[in-house]
Every structure is written in structure tokens, then in C-alpha cells.
Chain A
């Protein structure tokens, strides 16, 4: 059973650029969620994808967008990067419809915006 994998692990961008982060869900899971964790804070829910559609969104602007592919992997795209977007971006996978289920997280992608 493979776990949640994310890429890249680290990246540096400049303000105004765009970034794409990638996530492969754990084997058997069909739902992917994305979280943003700023330094010294707990992760904040960005959005969730199920059946290739957004299925729940936190308090993040539209320049944060995503995709889910038929194999359940997912991308997080952030346009017009701002300095405050510097954070650890975490992906979690789970099984849709099981509210009592557990979420499993990847190692994260560390984004630095200069």
C-alpha cells in the first residue's frame, strides 16, 4: 500500500508568479484535500476534490485552484503569488462518504515566495 506522495518538496518563486503542486493519494482513496500551514500555525483547509470536482472550500481566494485526475491524483495551482503564500502545503487523502474515516497526509511542499 503506497502512502500519500507530494512533489516538489521545496520550491522558491517570486511574487506574481504561478505555482503548481502535485499529490498522489494513498492507494484505495478517492478524495484529496489540500491544507496550507504557515510557520508556527496549524494547517488551514483550502479545498477538497472528489470525482474530479471541487467538493468543499475554505476561506481562500479564487487564485487558489485545483484539479483531480481519473487516477485520484491532484494538483494545487496558485496564481499571482503573494509573500503571504509562503507556507508548507499539505495534501491529505481519504475515502469519500466515510465521515468517520481517517485522513492521511503527505510530507508536504515547502513554498517560499520572495
Chain B
């Protein structure tokens, strides 16, 4: 059974700091991995999608890496801003279009 773990559960940093969020999964048989952002009480906004054959993806200040063999992904946020405060979720895609999510990392960026 696929399990996804995110560390840390919560993170508080001062504005401007670079930070790394971690995601690990137990079964390497995945099609891709997606990082999402969720604001309180809202839906999921897709940030980055990494296919299983890729090593990293970048979008603006965000960079996500994937090491499928070791079951790890990281989301790097450069020069953090208060507007980055949200919950960040990673999810791996299995056969049949099913996503398995981690519990998320709650990020607070202090101004």
C-alpha cells in the first residue's frame, strides 16, 4: 500500500528565507508526483507536476525535485514571501488516475 509522508508538519520562517519541504513515498511505482498549494478552507492549486522519468521541474521561485528510486521529492521555495503562507501537499499518481496524498506541511512566512 502506497504511503506518503511530508516533513515537517509545520514550518515558520522569516520573509526572504529560502526553504525546503520534503515528501517521501513508500512505493516507487508511480506515474508522476504533483505539488499542490491549499489556502485555508479552499481547494487545491497545482504548483508543479514531475513525471516519473523527470528529475526536476521549475516554476518561478519554486523548484521541485524527484528521486523515484529513493522515494523522495523536495519542494524548494526561494526568497519566501508572506503570500506563500499556505498548506503544501504532495501527491503521487498511481494506476487508474488515483492520487495518494501526504498530510501536508503548513507554512507560515512572517513579515
Contact = CB atoms under 8 A, between A and B. Distances in A.
Contacts, number: 69
Given A42-B89, A107-B42, A58 B98 contact: yes
B103 A42 contact: yes
Interface string B70-111: 000000000000000000010101011111111110000000
B28 to A, nearest CB: 15
Interface stretch (A12-20, A62-70, A73-81, A94-102): A94-102
Interface residues on B, range: 20 to 34
Nearest to A97: B97
Interface in A36-85: 40-45, 48, 55-56, 58
A59 to B, nearest CB: 10
Interface of A: 6, 31, 33, 35, 40-45, 48, 55-56, 58, 88, 90, 92, 94, 96, 99-108, 110
Interface of B: 4, 31-32, 34, 36, 41-46, 49, 51-52, 89, 91, 93, 95-104
18 contacts: A6-B43, A35-B99, A42-B104, A43-B99, A48-B98, A56-B97, A58-B98, A99-B93, A99-B97, A100-B32, A100-B51, A100-B52, A103-B99, A104-B46, A105-B36, A105-B45, A107-B42, A108-B42
